[in-house]
Amino acid sequence: MIKFRTRLDRNIPINKLLIINYSLDESDPLLAHQLAAVQTMATKFDSVHVITGHRGTGFIPENVIIRNIEWRSGSKIKKIFHLLKV
């Protein structure tokens, strides 16, 4: 049986989600659906953390926290260490 930590004031499970993606931008021709996926998941979880290589435009719900590691083509492998600092 899975036990959840509960909030002190209510007996409601705390649900958190981590999403790692390449781009979070509604104007991206290939990956625009990622923003819709994050918005949908934000309705299902208390807190959503997103680690992304590119943050563009689009509505982000209040319970979503974004960490942009600013990945660029040709970047050094040391960018991975930015991910580890999160």
What tokens does 36 get?
């819709």
Kindly report the average pLDDT of the chain as a whole number.
Answer: 79
Domain that holds residue 33: 16-85
CB–CB of 22/52 below 8 Å?
A: yes
Whether 32 maps to a domain, the answer reads yes
1 has pLDDT over 50:
no
Q: What is the pLDDT of residues 29-69, one digit of tens each?
A: 999 999 999 999 999 999 999 998 889 999 999 999 998 88
4 has pLDDT over 60:
no
pLDDT reported for residue 70:
78
The angle at the Cα of 50, spanning 81 to 78, to the nearest 5 degrees, equals 15
Whether 4 maps to a domain, the answer reads no
Q: Which CATH number fits the domain that encloses residue 26?
A: 3.40.50.2000
The pTM of the full predicted model, rounded to 2 decimals, is 0.69
pLDDT reported for residue 75:
64
First to last CA, the chain: 30
Distance in angstroms (rounded) separating the CA atoms of residues 51 and 67: 5
Phi and psi torsions of 59, nearest 5°:
-75, 130
pLDDT reported for residue 25:
92
